[in-house]
Amino acid sequence: MPQLSSRDVDLTIDFSAKQITQRLIIIILCLALTGTLSAYFLVSNFPFPSSKWFYKLFSLDEELNIPAWYSSFMLLFSSGLLAVIATIKKIDKYSIYWKNLSLIFLFLSLDEAFSFHEILIIPSLREAFNFSPIFFQTWVIFGIPAVIFFIFKYFKFFLNLPKKTQYLFLLAATFYISGTLGMEMVGGLLREYFGRLGTITIIGIVIEELLEMTGIVTFIYGLLTYLGSLQETINLKIHISER
């Protein structure tokens, strides 16, 4: 019986960090526009039937919709890139940091998609301690020490990165934390003084989401440029069996 010959087929895929980032930014701008329009429909008390459907689908202040899923996808993409870097750097002393970052971003992706953090929104806690409006979303009380712990834990890792990567990661963290924690607290004040449907409050929500998504896409760009600097070839082997 003749023996089947086997051979490897090389499939080359080239990625451009700038092109990927540009496309992600274009989508963010589109979501910002649709999110602003959906907010207009809300304050206008839904002027026509399909406007309510549009609001639920594109609102930046709602969960389980297109903006939330897009943010979740970008965080998941970040997690995947971090996992690739962890694999490449598996003999490096900071390999475990890359692995843990990958797991953290996987959790953030799931949280963005399913809003686990809302478990920590406890109205009775806010009322019992008479918290300031900046703690309207009580989960930020737990988020602030978590961020401080993360900074303390990853400081040496951060200093070990190339200067360009340090700059991009720091910029990404500034954008993201300003959105998730900073504008979340500012949003509590805006709700208190201008109401949930106030124009200023809605502008604050748009800024919050823009900061978050800009932070994620900046981080993705940082990861892609760092991967490019490693000059590594990633081999992906796929075996297909008749069984």
Dig out the tokens for 53 from the structure.
């459907």
Cβ contacts of 3 within 8 Å, gap of 6 or more: none
> Could you tell me the two tokens for 166?
């340090």
The predicted-structure confidence for 184-197, as pLDDT tens digits, reads as follows 888 888 888 888 77
34 CB neighbour count, 10 Å cutoff: 18
pLDDT tens for residues 80-139?
999 999 999 888 888 999 999 999 999 999 988 887 656 555 555 555 555 655 666 666
**In which band, very low, low, confident or very high, does the pLDDT at 4 lie, cut at 50, 70 and 90?**
very low
pTM: 0.86
pLDDT attached to residue 235: 58
Six-digit token string for 120: 């920590």
Q: What's the helix, strand, coil split of the chain in %, to 5?
A: 75, 0, 25
Q: For the chain, what is the largest distance between any 2 Cα atoms, rounded to a whole number of angstroms?
A: 83
- The per-residue DSSP string of 153-212 comes to HHHHHHHTS-HHHHHHHHHHHHHHHIIIIIHHHHHHHHHHHH-TT-HHHHHHHHHHHHHH
Is residue 154 within 8 Å of residue 166, measured between CB atoms?
Answer: no
Mean of pLDDT values over 147-171? 95
Exposure class string for 208-230: b at 16+ Cβ within 10 A, else e: bbbbbbbbbbbbbbbbbbbbeee
